Amino acid sequence: MTVNHPSDRVPTVGFLYPGYSAEDDYPLLERLLSRSGGPVQLPLVHTDIGEDAHRVDALLRMGGAERLAAGVGPLKERGAEAVVWACTSGSFVFGWEGAREQVRGLAAAAGMPASSTSFAFAHAVRALGLAKVGVAATYPDDVAEHFVEFLKHAGAETVSWRGHGIVTAAEVGTLGRDRVIELVQAGNHSQADAVLLPDTALHTAAWLEDLERAVGKPVLTANQVTAWEGLRLVGAAGVPRPGLGTLFKTGAGAPQA
């Protein structure tokens, strides 16, 4: 389901973001996207993170329906036409069907189209026709394995993956440009069509072109695909927006005729 809006309406997507780590990627993405392909609005509301831990039990609690529903009201007040749960691990740990149910519940609570970062990756992989991917995960290995399993349902084969054992989102949020480039290089593989960085706590918005140059292929990052997914839901992803990686440059995600 996508939203059709008048030509003079600025596409507005709301994001539910757990805690405080790399939320400043979203106002930056709003500025960069508006500059490169027309105005968009990306309001964000922080949700209760509970325990900051990349552990399956903590992540399942963090992605609970009540916590997500609590942030919907402020987003509606700010004119959101769709809402995205801006968390990868707090969605894929539920498994494919569990993550679908999470999104259905969020859509019902919000009264508007909804998605999550995990499905953003799945849809981006399909939109770009990626058959084989490499994964550079900040998470401990047991959490990263859940993401690899999730990608199978999107039709993508993970030809290489690497976890980096970082337990908290707070620590991930401190990683700078050089360290993020090291992460994407570590997740690369000669057979991979692209490299995926699945953590919305990781700053990447300012370095999307640098990351792709570092490996010579498309790179999909969590905050990048989350913004793209939201624009896809409101019918605004088909506008080519250069400077933000292959996903935005190609205008992937245009509504089908």
Q: Where are the domains of the chain?
A: 13-121+223-249, 130-221
Q: pLDDT tens digit string along 209-254?
A: 999 999 999 999 999 999 999 999 999 998 899 999 999 998 887 6
CATH architecture of 13-121+223-249: 3-Layer(aba) Sandwich (3.40)
Torsion angle, CA of 116/118/120/121, rounded to 10 degrees?
Answer: 170
CATH architecture of 130-221: 3-Layer(aba) Sandwich (3.40)
Q: pLDDT tens digit string along 112-161?
A: 999 999 999 999 999 999 999 999 999 999 999 999 999 999 999 999 99
The one-letter amino acid code at 160 reads S
Q: What's the predicted TM-score (pTM) here? A: 0.94
Average pLDDT, the chain: 94
- Label residue 9 by pLDDT band (50, 70, 90): confident
Task: Tell me, yes or no, if the two domains 13-121+223-249 and 130-221 fold the same way.
Answer: yes
State the Cα–Cα distance between residues 41 and 10, nearest whole angstrom.
7
